Structure 1
Amino acid sequence: MKEENSPKAPDFSLQNTQGDIVSLSDFKGRQKVVLLFFPLAFSGVCTQEVCAIRDNMKLYNALDAKVIGISVDSFFTLRAFKKAENLNFTLLSDFNKKVSKEYNVLYEDYYGMKDVAKRASFIIDREGIVRHQEILEDSDDLPDFKAIQRILSRH
């Protein structure tokens, strides 16, 4: 995404794994945000992705970035996923698919399931501007973590 065309990130409010509401605007002016949309908790590649984030959390913390994972799973499922994988970052449930639609990251059909989030990453700066986005069509692909880290270090 070219920076001169960088749009404002759509604000949202979703439930975390405890059922509490978290809004993107909670971080405005305070912290950069890495939004990671992923298809489904407990699936192989999604587990690989979130564990890679978990294992590199010190790096994201050093870059003053709040990492937030979003899927269309219920917050109950995400709570079990977070516990099972010992995840050290926020997971949010977009069960009603509103945020995934706003960010244009929904598969129409994902192995027979309708409206499942694509694997996608967005970097949002402290002012709420999208500085990077990567929307992957193939759910077997992982985000470019090196690019995410490079862009975070510049903003």
Structure 2
Amino acid sequence: MKAIFKKELLIGLIAASSCVGLGNTATAQDTPTEMTTLKQGEKVPDFNLMDQNGKLFKLSKYKGKKKLVIFFYPKDESPVCTKEACAFRDAYAKYSDANALVIGINNGTVASHKAFADKEHLPFTLLSDPDNKVLNAFKIKDQDFGNNMKVSGRETFIVGLNGTVVYSFRDFMKGDEHSKQVLAYLNK
């Protein structure tokens, strides 16, 4: 019980610091030695996960047919994650116009994703990755706050029609910036 409380407290502190602009951020423009995630040109691993409606989502069904915007976020309903998801929601028509499928992934449950999607009117797919297998396959780096307190990372990838990463953006504290950066890339 204490570990759960510490994690919830940490998420609250992270959210609070994001409101006042504190915290250490990293972006896709950081030096390559700091980045451990999939890089531009690397193949995206295939995966199957359950979506917020309890249906099996198979990435292979969409590869080569649509551009994929895959964003990894730490937690449903946290303030920064909600800003991020809502930014993707608010620009959803632009993603559709760009033939891009938006997918959010974290280790939350199907039920948690369903509640989050319903509450925030999210029109895109949220996938449950309970063991962080997909997060680990993408090599997403945890955000380390010291004292053994880590939260899963926040990173967004654009996957081209050939199944490789064409762009990525990482910034832990600026969730709403992810959609802006991805759209800027897609509109080049």
Which bin holds the TM-score, normalised by the shorter protein? 0.7 to 0.9
TM-score calculated relative to the size of structure 2: 0.72
Question: Which residue does the alignment assign to 1:101?
Answer: 136
Which of 34, 47, 50 is the aligned partner of 1:12?
47
Bigger strand fraction: 1
Most deviating of 141-150 and 96-105 = 141-150
Q: Which amino acid aligns with 1:40?
A: K
- Secondary structure at 2:142's aligned position in 1? strand
Task: Count the aligned residue pairs.
Answer: 151
The answer to whether structure 1 residue 25 and structure 2 residue 60 are counterparts is yes
Q: Is the 8 A contact 2:84 2:179 kept in 1?
A: no
CA gap 1:104/1:115 in 2 versus in 1, 3 angstroms: farther
Q: Is the 8 A contact 1:123 1:148 kept in 2?
A: yes
TM-score calculated relative to the size of structure 1: 0.86
Question: Which residue does the alignment assign to 1:149?
Answer: 183
Cα deviation 1:31-60 (Å, max 9, x = unaligned)? 000001000001001001111111111100
Question: Which residue does the alignment assign to 2:89?
Answer: 54
Residue ranges of structure 1 left out of the alignment (5+ in a row): none
Q: Which amino acid aligns with 2:136?
A: K
Which of 60, 80, 85 is the aligned partner of 2:115?
80
Q: Which amino acid aligns with 1:61?
A: S
Q: Which amino acid aligns with 1:94?
A: D
Q: CA deviation at 1:20?
A: 1.1
Q: Which amino acid aligns with 1:34?
A: V
Question: Which residue does the alignment assign to 1:140?
Answer: 173
Q: Is the 8 A contact 1:65 1:152 kept in 2?
A: no
- Secondary structure at 1:49's aligned position in 2? helix
Q: Which amino acid aligns with 1:129?
A: T
**Rg bigger for which structure?**
2
The answer to whether structure 1 residue 41 and structure 2 residue 63 are counterparts is no
Q: CA deviation at 1:29?
A: 2.0
**Matched residues in 2 for 1:112 and 1:54: separation?**
35
Over aligned residue pairs, what C-alpha RMSD do you find? Answer: 2.5
- Secondary structure at 2:74's aligned position in 1? coil
CA gap 1:93/1:115 in 2 versus in 1, 3 angstroms: farther
**Matched residues in 2 for 1:89 and 1:114: separation?**
30
